[in-house]
Amino acid sequence: MKFIIANALSFACLAAMVVIGVIMYPGLPETVPSHYNFKGEPGNYLPKLLIVVLMPIVYAATIVAINLMIRFSPEKFAMTNSMRSGEIIVFGTGLLLLSTHVGMMATVGDVDEFHQYLAVGLACFLIISGNVIGKTERNFIFGLRLLWTVASAANWRATHRFAGRVMVISGVLLLTLNFYWPSLELNLVLGLSSVVIAPIYSFVFCVKNERSRENKGEAS
């Protein structure tokens, strides 16, 4: 019961996936595009039953797997004081999958419209997760597990606070620009911006703050 209450938002998102899938199933064609290539052409088709159940199964497995990983994490990386942040990130992931789920069923071949659905879900994920990722402690489940962030609590904290700001800005830009330029390129650039920029910030932080202290210690 405690598990369900703690993940109430995620289970509500999962329920929405199931209900929407059941409602839309009768009107779907026998096969539905599951993704699109850079030319805007459907890259693959799946049976409509699989389309309806795929995302709910993936998300249900994600909720269970992440909670198990948190429960059995090493004590040093147990996220004792940031469990709520992890639950919110899982919920943000659910909104991304929900939007993708609805987009595949609602658009059925209209690539621009599909990318609009995808962008809305991705923007929600970035904004929601970006607001809490900076509050997470070092762990092996969420965040950027780089050499410098795993080795240093200060670097982890600074990097993820910076990454959180980049994620929120990217999410707001994505929501805005999506109405004028729905595209895979836009989703990729803004969706991956924090993953590209934050590691650079982490390395610079290490060089400027941690390596410099080590050098001063050796000099003294």
pLDDT in tens, 149-200: 988 899 999 999 999 999 999 999 999 998 888 888 889 999 999 999 999 9
- The pTM of the full predicted model, rounded to 2 decimals, is 0.89
Over residues 128-142, the pLDDT tens digits come to: 999 999 999 888 889
User: Can you give the pLDDT at residue 121?
Assistant: 95
The answer to whether residue 54 scores a pLDDT higher than 90 is: yes
Task: Give me the chain's average pLDDT, please.
Answer: 87
pLDDT at 220: 43
16 or 31, higher pLDDT:
16
pLDDT category, 1, cuts 50, 70, 90? low
> Domain limits of the chain?
2-219
- 16-23 long-range CB contacts below 8 Å, 24 or more apart? 16/98, 17/55, 17/56, 17/59, 17/94, 17/97, 17/98, 17/101, 18/56, 20/98, 20/101, 20/102, 20/105, 21/52, 21/53, 21/55, 21/56, 21/101, 21/105, 22/52
Stretch 118-134: mean pLDDT, rounded?
95
Q: CB of 187 within 8 A of CB of 114?
A: no
The predicted pLDDT at position 71 comes to 79
Region 64-77: mean pLDDT is 80
| Residue 218 confidence class, pLDDT cut points 50, 70, 90 | very low
